[in-house]
Copies of this chain bind each other. A is one copy, B any other.
Amino acid sequence: MNEIKIFSPATVANVACGFDVLGFCLDTVGDEMTIRKVDKKGIFITKVEGFNLPMETELNVAGVSALAMYEAANPDCGFEIEIRKNIKPGSGIGSSAASAVGSVFGMNELLGQPFNKTELTVFAIKGEAFASKCEHADNLAPAIFGGFTLVKSVAPLEVLQIPVPNNLYATIIHPQIEIKTSEARAILPKEVALQDAITQWSNFGSLIHGLHTSDYPLIKRSLHDIIIEPHRSKLIPYFEEVKQAALQQGALGSGISGSGPSIFSLSEGLEQAKSVEKAIKKVYSKTNIEFDVFVSKINTEGIKIIK
């Protein structure tokens, strides 16, 4: 096998009370990438479609992670990478993460899988760090492992795979505004009230228990973020209206995807996820802001070969 085509999925990080540690994988939106083994040594970005991204390997997220793995593997061949980018950069659903994992996953397959998923994530962290100036795996882990992942620590990397209830769906709305990462970071409080922190870990522990037991009502009672959301939601117009519209349709919960501007909602069942989609579409249709909205089952497989 000298060529492989892969689907590198969009992901949601910072899942409510699991801020900074919990993420999940989507299945309807993702980048398509073709990785090709070539005789000439090195990593070559040969095509980028969809969005305008650098072709220079060292300036491209997929290139940077590929180089990290290439150095470790030291193979006697090179790789060409073609990227069909479907996830808009800056949308908050793991656009750079999809690029970062796509190249290393594809190369690993062509080399006969010398690396495991954790090792692939470590290489991908280098690409993600190039994009976000910070080593984290919040979007990388769900893209590579699929389902829900808890990144217990980054160095050394420890990823826990949390069970996914069978009938769990996400609705994502992406308001096409720009949120500067620097602003999203600056708005975070340095300190939080102990009582709020206790509430947050109580909810997070309960959420993990709810995912293990497929207890949808408990998931609903746990999907709260009382620490980050009150601050960051100010950067997203109509956040509260979207959330209330989703909850009125019976959604299990809503929150900021990554550092925004996308907003995720979780639902029990496809039908509910679709009625949530309809309701939040209605909210944004009344504004001047362009937006995309879509429904996705939680993707338990993660990144995959499509050809």
**Residues of A with Cβ closer than 8 Å to B?**
17-22, 150-153, 158, 160, 162, 188-194, 197-198, 200-209, 212, 218, 221-222, 227
Which of A19, A22, A205 lies at the interface centre, i.e. has the most chain B CB atoms within 10 A of its CB? A205
The one of B160, B189, B201 in contact with A17, judged by C-beta atoms closer than 8 angstroms, is B201
* Distance A17 CA – B205 CA, assembled complex (angstroms): 10
Complex: A151 Cα to B18 Cα, angstroms: 18
List the B side residues contacting A221 at CB < 8 Å.
152, 158
For A210, the closest partner residue in chain B by CB is B160
From known contacts A162-B209, A209-B162, infer whether A150 and B191 are also in contact, taking CB-CB under 8 Å. Answer: no
Q: In the complex the two chains form, what is the Cα distance from A152 to B200 in whole Å?
A: 10
A174 to chain B, nearest CB (A): 26
What are 14 sample pairs from A and B whose C-beta atoms fall under 8 A apart? A21-B198, A21-B202, A158-B221, A160-B218, A162-B209, A190-B193, A194-B227, A197-B201, A201-B201, A201-B204, A204-B205, A205-B205, A205-B207, A208-B212
Contact of A152 among B190, B197, B202 (CB under 8 A): B202
Closest to A19 in B: B198
CA distance A20 to B17 in the complex (A): 17
Known: A160-B209, A201-B204, A205-B22. A192 touches B194 (CB 8 A): yes
Task: Considering the complex, give the chain B residue whose CB is closest to the CB of A201.
Answer: B201
Most B CB within 10 A of own CB, among A17, A21, A198, A222: A198
- A215's nearest neighbour on chain B, judged by CB, is B160
Query: How far is A172 from B90 in the complex, measured between Cα atoms in Å?
Result: 52
Which residue of chain B is the closest to A203 with respect to CB atoms? B152
Establish whether residues B202 and A194, one from each chain, have CB atoms under 8 Å apart when the complex forms: no
Inter-subunit contact A152/B206 (CB<8 Å): yes
Selected from B151, B200, B203, the residue in CB contact (under 8 A) with A197 is B200
The residues of B that contact A206 with a CB separation of less than 8 Å are: 150, 152, 160
User: A212: nearest residue on chain B (CB-CB)?
Assistant: B212
Residues of chain B within 8 A (CB-CB) of A188 are 194
Q: Is the CB of A194 within 8 A of B190?
A: yes
A18 to B209 alpha-carbon distance, docked (Å): 13
- Give the top 9 A-B pairs by smallest Cβ distance, nearest first: A201-B201, A197-B197, A191-B191, A208-B208, A201-B204, A21-B202, A205-B208, A212-B212, A20-B198
Q: Are B150 and A202 in contact (CB under 8 A)?
A: yes
Question: Which of A20, A192, A202, A221 counts the most B-chain CB atoms under 10 A from its CB?
Answer: A202
Question: Whole-angstrom distance between the alpha carbons of A292 and B189 in the complex?
Answer: 44
State A162–B213 Cα separation when bound (angstroms).
10
Q: Determine which of B22, B150, B201, B207 lies in contact with A200 in the assembled complex, contact meaning CB atoms within 8 Å.
A: B201
For A194, list chain B residues within 8 Å (CB): 188-192, 227
Instruction: Please give me the residue from chain B that is nearest to A151 by CB atom.
Output: B202
CB distance from A31 to the nearest CB of B (A): 28
